Amino acid sequence: MSAHAEESVSVWHLRWLRLKRDRAALAGAGLLALLLMASESAPIYEAWQGVSGVDADLLSRFDPATAQHWLGSDDAGRDVFARLLRGGQTSLTIGIMGALGASIVGTLIGSISGYFRGRVDMVLMRFTDFMIALPQLPILIILAALDLTKLGFSSEFIRSGSAGYWRIVVIVTLLGWTGVARLVRASTLALAEREFVLAARAQGAPAWWVLGIHIVPNAITPVIVATTIAMGRVILAESGLSFLGVGIQPPATSWGSMLSNAQELITSAPMLAIWPGLLILVSVVAINFLGDGLQAAFDPRSDPR
């Protein structure tokens, strides 16, 4: 009985209990929530302190830390703390969006591959292998440098601020779905043999019905874990691209683009480089802790850390 009740509602309760005992995972989740909330409240902080993380103020370049500039100001006189918050907004939401995008694409491809098997499966999995073996970062750079007008986008759209943001989200999605696809495919292969799936097929239910109602909801566990892990990778990828100057473009900012700026100032203003990197590190560690905790909580056989 218990073995079968596994994937039911009460199981979510059990998982929650297991997760609650995992202090590293809880700390990761808490830290992540804190970082998200703090970065979303950047405008509030700016208004309250009367500073700006965006507008240059050439009279207060390289100010030391004060009550007004908590972490001082940068080479253009922008408040470093406010700028970190704004950068976090970009980095973290790209991490979330990119991971969600990757898991949606990966779930689609993985479940179709596992459900139809045969030739469909072979083609899709070869394609997945192909994507995995591409040298990721150089391809990311090329994608980031592509001239979108050659793909038929209008130049106004490309110059708009959100295009740069969405371009990065799409790029990390395109390269990040492979891991999710493999996990979902494995789950689908197992689920497709289950009798509730056969029951629906015996009714003549179309494939989209079986996949959407029976298979994907029951394969959600690996998807959640893979999405969490993907989020860390996406944040690292975005920061790398922005650092190389092909990611988030000014006036928008992310932790990676702040580092790109700070690179030349490493001797004179090292703190400008230390803070953004530290925040990337902390967020990615927090995400990985959470991901491992979820994995352990969802899969009792996996070995506890």
Partner 1 sequence: MTRFLLSRAAGAFVVLMAKSFVIFALIGLMPGDPVDLLMNANPDATPEDIAHLRQLYGVDTPIFERYWHWLTAAVHGDFGFSRLQHRPVWDIVIPALGNTIVLTATAFTIATVIAITLGTIAALKRGTWIERAIGLLAYTGISIPAFWLGLMLIYLFAVILGWLPAGGMPRPEEGIRGIFSHLALPVLTLVIVEIGAPTRYARAAMLEVLGQDYIRTARAKGLSSRRLILKHALRNAMIPVVTIIALGMGNLFSGALLTETIFAWRGMGRLILEAIMGNDYNLALVCLLFTTAAILLANILADVAYTKLDPRIGLGGRRK
Partner 2 sequence: MSPILQAENLSVRFPAGREGWFGPKREVQAVSNVDLSLFAGETLALVGESGSGKTTFARALLGLVGHSGGTMRFDGADIAAMNRTARQAMRRTVQMVFQDPFGSLDPRLTVASIIAEPLRIHNIGSAATRRERVRALLVQVGLPPDAASRYPHQFSGGQRQRIAIARALAPAPRIIIADEPLSALDVSIQSQILNLMAELRDRAGLSYLLISHDLAAVHHLADRVAAMYLGRVVEVAPRDALFDTPAHPYTRALLDAVPRIGAGKRVPGGALQGDIPSPLAPPPGCAFHPRCPRASSVCAVEAPVLRVLAGAHQAACHHPLEIAA
| Interface contacts to partner 2, rule CB under 8 A | 1, 4-10, 194-196, 198-205, 209, 213-214, 217-218
End-to-end C-alpha distance for the chain, whole angstroms: 28
Structure tokens at 137: 């970062």
- Residue count at the site for partner 1 (CB under 8 A)? 45
Binding site partner of 172, from partner 2, partner 1, none, Cβ cut-off 5-8 A by kind: none
Q: How far, in Å, CA of 151 to CA of 131, rounded?
A: 21
Please, what is the minimum distance in Å from the beta carbon of residue 215 to partner 2? Answer: 10
Residue 67's nearest CA partner among 84, 93, 80, 49 is 49
> x/- binding map, residues 282-301, to partner 1, per CB under 8 A?
--xx-xxx------------
Stretch in the footprint of partner 1 (CB under 8 A) among 6-14, 53-61, 129-137, 201-209: 129-137
Binding site partner of 151, from partner 1, partner 2, none, Cβ cut-off 5-8 A by kind: partner 1
Q: Which is nearer to partner 1, 13 or 23 (CB)?
A: 23
Q: Which is nearer to partner 1, 172 or 236 (CB)?
A: 236
DSSP result, 23-72: HHHHHHHHHHHHHHHHHHTHHHHHHHHT--SSS--GGGTTPPP-SSSTT-
DSSP conformational letter for 203:
T
- Cβ count within 10 A of residue 125: 17
Q: Rule CB under 8 A: say whether 227 interacts with partner 1.
A: no
Q: Which is nearer to partner 1, 197 or 273 (CB)?
A: 273
Cis amide bond preceding 276, omega within 30: no
Q: Rule CB under 8 A: say whether 170 interacts with partner 1.
A: no
